[in-house]
Chains A and B, each alone.
Chain A
């Protein structure tokens, strides 16, 4: 049985390696000035008044792919939440308030609002400059956890109601799908960017549905990261096995 498995692994690995080498042989040269897909993507994004071509690819030309990535994150966080839940033979122990060094506290409380605003800025400007829902969402969610460094876990728990974040995670995924279905109802394809006016190039309200999809992804990623970290911190700080006491 083990031998069969090894053979299967070797076969799969060799096949993957052969396909990768074949694909790499056909790539355009490293650092070349022109790229056939690049030119077409830039052309399409400019036609829809989206200044950041990457955002246009992610949320307009390949918006369906992004729905898949979003579902992967959602499913992964759901799986973590199920695996890391409090089991029957475990109990919660309130962590003792921890002593925080003064410079750490000062730095964390100073950096928290700056990081939070930076995250929201990156989400809101996804259609204009590098960044977008995913990057901004992770930054905003990790910014909240500076409170765990600067104060302690009970302070973080007070400003971060877990139930609200679980619901907003699911709502954001639904919002993305609803935006896609809205364009079907309007008579075009799923997630086609034809619903909203394209607006003035290089302003916040440009790009049609790109900013809305960006906001949905930002909300989903921020909530998902908060829920994920909450379960990890719960396990690391609060949940203890029963047979200890």
Chain B
């Protein structure tokens, strides 16, 4: 069963990549960079879902986790930083 072994190895690699990228997203403390790492983590998670034969969930994850969520985080970060800057101006 050579094919089965290769398939198992691909699953293990995908799982390890998910664990590594998710840990990297938590360890990174700057929110703007965190959004980028989260986006990469979303792509890896989508790959894992596809490897586990769930391409429908993989597509959802790719669209939401790697594009939409990071974009919303970046926009929130921008709003908060701008507000901080305008408060400093008035002082």
Which residues of chain A have a CB within 8 Å of any CB of chain B?
A: 52, 54, 122, 130-132, 134-135, 138-139, 142, 145, 225, 228-229, 232-233, 235-237, 240-241, 243-244
26 contacts between A and B (CB under 8 A): A130-B56, A130-B59, A134-B60, A135-B59, A135-B60, A135-B62, A138-B67, A138-B68, A139-B63, A142-B67, A142-B68, A228-B72, A229-B68, A229-B71, A232-B72, A232-B75, A233-B75, A235-B75, A236-B76, A236-B78, A236-B82, A240-B82, A241-B83, A241-B86, A243-B90, A244-B86
Query: How many residues from B make CB contacts under 8 Å with A?
Result: 21
Digitize B51-90: 1 where CB-to-A-CB distance is under 8 Å, 0 elsewhere.
0000110111011100110011001101100110010011
Least CB distance, B3 to chain A, in whole angstroms: 13
The list of the 9 closest CB pairs from A to B, nearest first, reads A130-B55, A138-B63, A135-B59, A236-B75, A232-B75, A236-B78, A54-B56, A236-B79, A244-B86
Contact B86 A240 (CB under 8 A): yes
Contact B76 A232 (CB under 8 A): yes
Least CB distance, A143 to chain B, in whole angstroms: 10
Least CB distance, B46 to chain A, in whole angstroms: 11
Contact B64 A138 (CB under 8 A): yes
Q: In the bound complex, what is the Cα–Cα distance between A135 and B62 (angstroms)?
A: 9
Q: In the bound complex, what is the Cα–Cα distance between A225 and B68 (angstroms)?
A: 9
Least CB distance, B4 to chain A, in whole angstroms: 9
CB-based nearest B residue for A225: B68
Least CB distance, B42 to chain A, in whole angstroms: 12
CB-based nearest B residue for A134: B60
CB-based nearest B residue for A115: B67
